[in-house]
Chain A
Amino acid sequence: MADHGKQQGGEKTGSERVTAGPDKRFSEISARIAAERKEAEAAQGQTGRRTAAVGNTWGSAFRLGSEFVAAVLVGGGLGYLIDRLLGTLPFGLIILLLAGFAAGILNMARTAGRAPKAGERLNDGPDGPTD
C-alpha cells in the first residue's frame, strides 16, 4: 500500500516535469523496475526453490506409490479381461499380473529418474528421429 501511494505521488511530480523530458524519466523508472525485479527474483529464488522442493518430495512420494499400484491393477484387469474372452481363467491373470508388477517397478524407476523415459527411445530407432 505504501508503495502504491509513493508511486502515485511520484507520477504526479513526473507529470509536472513533463517538459523536462518524459523519455528520461521513463528510462529512469524502467531501470528502477528492472533493479527491483532482479532483487525480488533473487530473494524469491531461494524460498521458491525450497517450497518447490517440498512440493516435489510430497508429489513424488504420492506418485511412486500410485504408479506401482496402477500398473498392477491394469495388468490384473487386462489379464482377467483376456481370460474372460478366451476362457483360460487362471493363466492370463497370473501372467499379466506378474507383467503388471514388472511394469509397476519400471514405472517407479522412471518416476524416480533411474530408468530412461519411454519416449527417449523413439530417437534410437534405425530410421532416427522423425522430426
Chain B
Amino acid sequence: MANDPLHQFQIKPIVDMFSVGGMDFSFTNSSLFMVAAAGTVSAILFAASRSASLVPSRMQSVGELWYEFIANMVRQTMGSEGMKFFPFVFTVFSFVLMSNLLGMFPYFFTVTSHVVVTAALAVFIIAMVVVVGLAKHGLHFFKLFVPSGVPIAILPFISLIEIISFLSRPVSLSLRLFGNMMAGHIVLKVFTGFVVSLGALGIGGILGALFPLAMGVALTAFEFLVAFLQAFVFAILTCVYLNDALHPGH
C-alpha cells in the first residue's frame, strides 16, 4: 500500500461531525490542510507586518515582495482601477500557493490535487466575473456573446461558439491546476517508489536505484517550480477574466 501512488490523495475524516441530506460535513485531512494553508499565510503576513520599519527586516521584505508582486500583476492586467479586486486576487494566489507548497512536504496532503477544490475556486471566480459584469454593464454584458459586424446568418453559430468558449474558462482554470498538482505528485511518487523496489534487489539494484533517485531530486525541484507557476497562472487568469468584466474597452 505504501507504494500505491494514489494513496496520498485519499480523503480521511479526522473529526466526524454531522451530515445534512447525505452530505458528509466531517473535518477531513483536506480541511485540515486548507486551515493550515490559510493559517500559514496569516502567520507569515502577521510576522511580516508586526514591526513595520523604514529599513525592512527579513520577514517584512517577504511581505513587501509578496504584496508588490500581486499588486504589479493586478495593475498590469486590470489597471489601477482593478486594485478594488486586489484583496481577492491576493487571497486566491496566497491560498493556492500555500496549498501547493504545503503539499511538497512528505506525508502532507495537497489540497489543490482534488478537482472539487479547484473547481469550487474557479466557479466562484467566474460567478464573480458574471456578477461584476452585470452590475457594471447591465444586459450589455451579454454582448460578449454577440460579436458586432457578423452576418446574421452565421450569428447563432458564432454565439454558440462564444458561449462554449466562455463556459470553458472555469473548466480549463480548474483542470489545469488540479491536473498539474495531481500528475506531479503521482510522477514523483512513482519514480521514488522505484528507488525502494530496486534497492531491495541487492548491490546491482542499489546502483540501478541511483538513476530514479537523481530523477526524484530533479522532479522535486521541478515540482516546486510548478507549485509556484500554477498559483501564478491561476492568479493572473483571475485578473484577466475580471478585466473582461471590469473595463471591456481595454
Report which A residues bind B (CB closer than 8 A).
Answer: 4, 7, 55, 58-59, 62-63, 66-67, 69-71, 73-75, 78, 96, 99-100, 102-104, 106-107, 110, 117-127, 129-131
- Contact check: which of B140, B168, B247, B249 meets A107 at CB < 8 Å? B168
Return chain B residues, CB-CB under 8 Å to A130: 136-138, 140
A94 to chain B, nearest CB (A): 14
Partner of B168, one of A4, A67, A121, A123: A67
List of B residues within 8 angstroms of A127 by Cβ? 140
User: Which residue of chain B lies nearest to A58 when distances are taken between CB atoms in the complex?
Assistant: B229
Q: Is there an interface contact between A99 and B161, defined as CB atoms closer than 8 Å?
A: yes
Let me know if B248 and A120 touch, CB within 8 A.
yes
Interface of A, secondary structure class, is: helix
Starting from the known contacts A70-B172, A74-B164, A119-B250, 11 additional A-B residue pairs (CB-CB under 8 Å) come to A70-B169, A99-B164, A100-B164, A102-B161, A106-B162, A119-B244, A121-B147, A122-B248, A122-B249, A131-B136, A131-B247
Chain A residues with Cβ below 8 Å from B147 are 121
Q: Are A103 and B144 in contact (CB under 8 A)?
A: no
Residue interface bits B134-153, CB-to-A below 8 A is 1, else 0: 00111011011001110000
Contact present for B160 and A99 (CB under 8 Å): yes
Whether A124 pairs with B148 at a CB distance below 8 angstroms is: yes
- A131 CB contacts on chain B under 8 angstroms: 136-137, 247
Chain B facing A: main interface SS: helix
**Does B180 touch A at the CB level, under 8 Å?**
yes
- Asked whether, in the complex, the Cβ of A59 is within 8 Å of the Cβ of B229, the reply is yes
- Interchain CB contact under 8 A, B144 and A119: yes
**Within B195-250, which residues are at the interface with A (CB < 8 Å)?**
225, 229-230, 232-233, 236-237, 243-245, 247-250
The listed residue (B168, B179, B236) touching A103 by CB distance below 8 A is B168
Q: Digitize B45-85: 1 where CB-to-A-CB distance is under 8 Å, 0 elsewhere.
A: 00000000001000000000000000000000000000000
Judging by beta carbons under 8 Å apart, are A63 and B250 in contact? no
| 12 contacts across the A-B interface (CB closer than 8 A) | A4-B55, A58-B229, A78-B164, A100-B168, A106-B162, A117-B244, A117-B250, A119-B244, A119-B245, A120-B250, A121-B148, A122-B141
Contacts A103-B161, A130-B140; A74 near B167 (Cβ below 8 A): yes
Q: A residues within 8 A CB of B165?
A: 71, 103, 106-107, 110, 118
